[in-house]
Amino acid sequence: AAGLTIKSFRNLMQVDPGFDTKGVLTFRTSPPSATYPDADAVLNFYRNLGDEVRRLPGVQAAGFGRLLPLASEMGDAGIMIETHPVPAGQPGNQADWQAVSPGYFEAMRIKLIDGRFTDATDTRAGLQTIVINQTLAKEYFPGENPIGQRVRVGGREAPWRVVVGIVGDYHHNGLTNAYKRAFFVPMEQWANAYGVPRRALTMVIRTAGDPNDLIGPVRAVAHRLAPEVPLTQVTTMNGVLGAATQEQRFTVALMAGFALLALVLAAVGIYGVISYSVAQRTKEIGIRLALGADIDSVRYLVMRQGMAPAGIGVAVGLAAALLFTRYLGSLLYGVAPVDAFTFAAIPVLLLAVAAASVLLPAVRASRVEPVEALRGE
């Protein structure tokens, strides 16, 4: 079980989330409606905060997003495609929805597949645009180029939007979940689509150094611009990744801890029993040596005595593991509950530990001096 969970965790940590977690600081903030009553005030707050943060030494890119990947669950919203209307009575098109500012994709290092990212030209009064991910492009525009086509989000009264970019897929609702369709509305144009400004946003800041070094300067900038607006959930993307895999880490630690304890107890137990047996049979071993038995035969005798029950124990353990590990399926990723490599490697490890535990008493037995062993007879 420990071998399976360790291999599962290794597979999980090798999953490409679709963005780069290294060197990224993140925090969440929300300007209150009392002091920021409308969309223009909210957008002005985020523009000023973003501009000031980007001026900080070491900042390579920074932007805002509605929800942070791996730190939140994102649901579906309707999306209408001008060239592919949904027939009456059929379920409408659905996709995850995000609001993003210029710099968000660059800070997260999400890949650009075609077209462009959201940029400063995507203003409230400008061309209404949208960015989609690969999965949405493949499923809703099969065999077509989505760039330049028009979609609508936010209801039938919302404006048509031109697809200006396609970005790579990334995992949002957990590393083990499949990619989902997603679209990204420019933050400046959010109110045009949904009627209200997007107040609560998460900022992501990419730095060349340790992102923790930016916490103080970023807090100072935010306090200087708007002391009444707090920064919350201040953490790094590596911290977010760690929290997202916390359950798997706990399972691995628990299983590995019990497995190591069992291995140590087995090794100490085998060593103790065989050492005691050798001490009890000292005279017998001395007689064997006096009658001409060679050292190798004595060592084999002791090794056989210790390894026979160890082999039986491994066989029983394998049978029990075949039954028990079937219940681990929901905790495993990328590995079957009955994994051939694990079920072959672990018995070899156990037998090797047993052999090492028996070897020292066997060597000690082969060094018994016949005269000393028989002196009392």
Using one digit for the tens of pLDDT, what is the confidence trace for 243-252?
A: 988 888 888 8
**CA 51 to each of CA 44, 63, 222, 285, 359: distance values in angstroms, whole numbers, following the listed order:** 11, 10, 11, 85, 69
Find the farthest-apart pair of alpha carbons in the chain and give their distance in angstroms, rounded. 108
Using one digit for the tens of pLDDT, what is the confidence trace for 162-210?
A: 999 999 999 998 888 889 999 999 999 999 988 888 999 999 999 989 9
Local confidence pLDDT in tens for the 377 residues of the chain: 888 888 888 888 888 999 999 999 999 999 999 999 999 999 999 999 999 999 999 999 999 999 999 998 888 899 999 998 888 777 789 999 999 999 999 999 999 999 999 999 999 999 999 999 999 999 999 999 999 999 999 888 899 999 999 999 999 988 888 899 999 999 999 999 888 889 999 999 999 899 999 999 999 999 999 999 999 999 999 999 999 888 888 888 888 888 889 888 888 888 888 887 777 777 777 777 777 777 788 788 888 888 888 889 889 988 998 888 888 887 788 888 888 888 899 889 888 888 888 888 888 777 767 666 566 55
pTM for this predicted structure: 0.79
Q: Give the distance, in angstroms, between the CA of residue 104 and the centroid of all CA atoms in the same chain.
A: 21
Counts for the chain of helices (H) and strands (E), in that order = 12, 11
Using one digit for the tens of pLDDT, what is the confidence trace for 72-117?
A: 888 889 999 999 888 877 778 999 999 999 999 999 999 999 999 9
Dihedral sign for Cα 340, 341, 344, 346, please. negative
183 closest CA partner among 135, 149, 141 = 135
Return the bridge partners of 235, or none. 26
